[in-house]
Structure 1
Amino acid sequence: MSDASQILKDFETQYVPQINQTLQRLNDGWIDQPILQSAMTYSVNAGGKRLRPLLTLAVLRTYHDQPTDGQLMAASALELLHTYSLIHDDLPAMDNDPLRRGVPTNHMKFGAGMATLAGDGLLTLAFEWLSKAAIPDAQQLALVRALSHAAGPAGMDAGQAQDISSEHLQLNIDQLADLHRHKTGALLHYAVEAGCIMAEVSTEERQGLLKFADQFGLAYQIYDDLLDVTATTEELGKKTHKDADEEKNTYPGLFGVAGTKKRLKQVVTDAEAQLVALNHATGRDFSLLNAFCSYFKIKE
C-alpha cells in the first residue's frame, strides 16, 4: 500500500465512524412519520464511502485540529443531500436501478412514491441541519448559499437534466466535461468549499483548493464511467454496463477503455499538481487532500 493510500485509509478509519454516528441523529426526532423515517434512514444507513463529508473534514484538518460537533453536523448534511440524489437517480422515471450499494434501491423496497418523499425529506433536512449546526451564523448562511447553488438548477440538477436530454445524442469532449461538472462535480466542489468556509481559508488559497476540487470531481466521474465497463455488479454493488445499454454519454464511449484510463491519469496528475503549487505558494502541508487521489485505482 502506498503512503497516500495509507493516509487515506487511516483518515477514513478515524472519521467515517464519526460521520456515521452523526448521521444516526436522524433518529432524534427530525422525522415525524414512521414509514418515511424508515425509508430515509434505509438509504442513509445502506453504506457508502462518505467521500463528500470526508473531503470537507480533510480541508478542516488541513487548517485546524479536530472538527467540532457542529462542523461534523454541517459536513454530514452533505451526505443527506447526496443520498437524496441517489434515491431520485434510481427511480423508475430516471435510471430505474434495482440495486444500490449492494442492497435493493429505495423504490424497490418502499415503492416509487415513498422513495420520492424520502429523497425530498433528505434534501430539505440537509438545509435544516446546516441552519442548526453549532457554527457561526455567517458560516451557516454561506454554506446554505453554496449548497443551494451546487445542488440546484445551476449545479447537480442541471447536470441530471442534461444527462437525460443528451441520451441517444453524441456529445463532444467539452460538452461531456460540462455535463459531468454539473452532475457529479458540483457536490464535490461544494465539499471542498464547505471546508474552506468553516476553516476560514483565505480567498487565494480557496481558489487553488477549488481548482483541485474540480479536477478531483472530473476524475471521479471518469473513474465511475470506467468502472461501469470494467467492474462487476458484485464489486460495485450496483448494476454495471447500464450506461452503454441506455446510450448515455461516457468517457469509454468516447475514448474507449484505454483512452479513458489515459485521460483519468492526466486529470489525477493535474489535481495533484494543483496541491503541489499550493504547497509551494503557502508552505502548508496538503498531503491529506492529496491522499484522496489514491482513491482512483487504475488497472493496466
Structure 2
Amino acid sequence: MSSPVTFKDSLAKTAQHLETVLDDVLPKPIGHQAVVAEAMRYAAMGGGKRLRPFLLVQTAQLFGADDAGIWRAAAALECLHVYSLVHDDLPCMDDDDMRRGKPTVHKTYDEAIATLAGDALLTLSFELMASSSEDSARALSMVKALAVAGGVNGMIGGQVIDITVSEDARDEALITELQNLKTGALIEFGCHAGAVLAGASGDDVARVRRYARDMGLAFQIKDDILDVEGDADLVGKAVGKDADLGKATFVSILGLEPAREMAAELGERAKSHLAPFGKDADILCATVDFVLNRTH
C-alpha cells in the first residue's frame, strides 16, 4: 500500500512542475528585447511558495481535472502575481531591495526594465489564461475573472487603498477590505478558477471560494505577524518595516495575540467550508495549517 501524499510533498511537486511550465511559457532571451525576457525569468523562476497556483491545481484535482490547461492557468496566475510583486517593490511603491531571498528586479536591472518586465508578465498571464480550456467560453470567463481579481475591484484596488488612505483613518473593517482585495482576491481566484476549469457545480464553486476568502485573510494576518516576529533570512525580505513606517495592520490594531487568535478562527472556518468533500479535501485543509504555521 502506497503512503498517502503529504501536503509538503504535494506543495513541492506542484512547485517543481510549475517551474517546468514557466520555463516553457516564458519568453526566451533572444534579440534586442532579450533583457526584458531575462528580467521576467529572473522575477518568476526559482523562488516563492507558489501558493496561488498550488491552490488552483489542488482545487482542480479535487474535482477530477489535472490537464495541461490547468497548468497553463496556474502559470497565468503566477505570472500575474509576480508582476504585482515586481511593481510593488519599485521605489515609487514599497521601495524594497529584497524579494524571495534575492535582490529585487529593479536592483538587478533598473527601474525601467523592472516596470516593463512586470507589464510583460501581466500581459502574458492573459495570453496563457485564454488557452486554459478547450471550452472557449469557459476560458474567456476565466480571463475576465482574472482581470477582475487583478484590477480596480481586486488586487490593484487594495493597493490603491494601501497607498492613499492615511494610517490614522484605518480601522479593522478597512484593513479587512484592503486585504480581501490586495491579497485575498488572487487567492480566491485560484480556487475559483480551479473549480470552474474542472467543471464543478455552482454550489461547489461557491464553497471553495468561501474557503479561499477566509484562508486568504488568515494568510495576510500571518504576514502581519511575521513582520513583527519573523526572521528576515527566512522570510526573504525585510521585516519590521510596517512598524517602522507606522502602518496600521491587524497586529497594530488588534494586538499580537488577538491577531493570532483571529487567524486561527479564520483557518477553522475555512476548513469548515470543505467539510462536504471529506478526505478528498485533506490537502486543501492542510494548506490552512501551512498558512498559519509558516515562518516565511
Task: With the length of structure 1 as denominator, give the TM-score of the two structures.
Answer: 0.92
Aligned to 2:124: 125
Q: Deviations over 1:240-276 (max 9, x none)?
A: 0111112222111111211111111111111112212
State the one-letter code of the partner of 2:287.
Answer: F
Does the CA contact (< 8 Å) of 2:211 and 2:274 recur in 1?
yes
Per mean C-alpha deviation after superposition, the further-off stretch among 251-260 and 92-101 is 251-260
Whether 2:249 is the aligned partner of 1:250: answer yes
Q: Deviations over 1:152-174 (max 9, x none)?
A: 01110000000001243241111
State the one-letter code of the partner of 2:289.
Answer: S
* Superposition deviation, residue 224 in structure 1: 0.6
Instruction: Give the distance between the partners of 2:235 and 2:279, measured in 1 at CA.
Output: 36
Q: Deviations over 1:22-64 (max 9, x none)?
A: 0002455598610101111101114001111100010111111
Aligned to 1:213: 212
From 270, 285, 291, the counterpart of 2:286: 291
State the one-letter code of the partner of 2:191.
Answer: V
Whether 2:97 is the aligned partner of 1:112: answer no
* Superposition deviation, residue 76 in structure 1: 1.1
State the one-letter code of the partner of 1:178.
Answer: E
Whether 2:55 is the aligned partner of 1:92: answer no
Does the CA contact (< 8 Å) of 1:46 and 1:103 recur in 2?
no
Aligned to 1:227: 226
Structure 1 residues 180, 274: CA separation in 2 closer, same or farther (over 3 Å shift)? same
Structure 1 residues 46, 245: CA separation in 2 closer, same or farther (over 3 Å shift)? farther
Instruction: Give the distance between the partners of 2:210 and 2:162, measured in 1 at CA.
Output: 23
Structure 1 residues 25, 229: CA separation in 2 closer, same or farther (over 3 Å shift)? same
Per mean C-alpha deviation after superposition, the further-off stretch among 53-62 and 124-133 is 124-133
* Structure 1 segment 1-300 matched on structure 2, within 5 A: 7-27=6-26, 33-64=33-64, 67-133=66-132, 135-276=134-275, 278-279=276-277, 285-295=280-290, 296-297=292-293
Instruction: Give the distance between the partners of 1:245 and 1:79, measured in 2 at CA.
Output: 30
* Superposition deviation, residue 145 in structure 1: 0.7
Does the CA contact (< 8 Å) of 2:43 and 2:105 recur in 1?
yes
Question: Counterpart of 1:21 in 2: which secondary structure?
Answer: helix
Larger RCO (CA under 8 A, 6+ residues apart): 1
Does the CA contact (< 8 Å) of 2:28 and 2:38 recur in 1?
no
Structure 1 residues 31, 184: CA separation in 2 closer, same or farther (over 3 Å shift)? farther
Instruction: Give the distance between the partners of 2:248 and 2:212, measured in 1 at CA.
Output: 22
Per mean C-alpha deviation after superposition, the further-off stretch among 148-157 and 265-274 is 265-274
Does the CA contact (< 8 Å) of 2:130 and 2:143 recur in 1?
yes
RMSD of aligned Cα (Å): 2.0
Q: Deviations over 1:110-165 (max 9, x none)?
A: 11111011100000110011123453212210110100000001110000000001
The total of aligned residue pairs comes to 291
| Unmatched runs of 5 consecutive residues or more in structure 2 | none
Q: Percent identity of the aligned residues?
A: 35
Instruction: Give the distance between the partners of 1:197 and 1:255, measured in 2 at CA.
Output: 36
Instruction: Give the distance between the partners of 1:140 and 1:228, measured in 2 at CA.
Output: 38
Structure 1 residues 163, 29: CA separation in 2 closer, same or farther (over 3 Å shift)? same
Instruction: Give the distance between the partners of 1:124 and 1:173, measured in 2 at CA.
Output: 34
Does the CA contact (< 8 Å) of 2:40 and 2:120 recur in 1?
yes
Does the CA contact (< 8 Å) of 1:192 and 1:209 recur in 2?
yes
Instruction: Give the distance between the partners of 2:116 and 2:199, measured in 1 at CA.
Output: 35
* Superposition deviation, residue 109 in structure 1: 0.9
| Unmatched runs of 5 consecutive residues or more in structure 1 | none
Task: With the length of structure 2 as denominator, give the TM-score of the two structures.
Answer: 0.93
Does the CA contact (< 8 Å) of 1:56 and 1:193 recur in 2?
yes
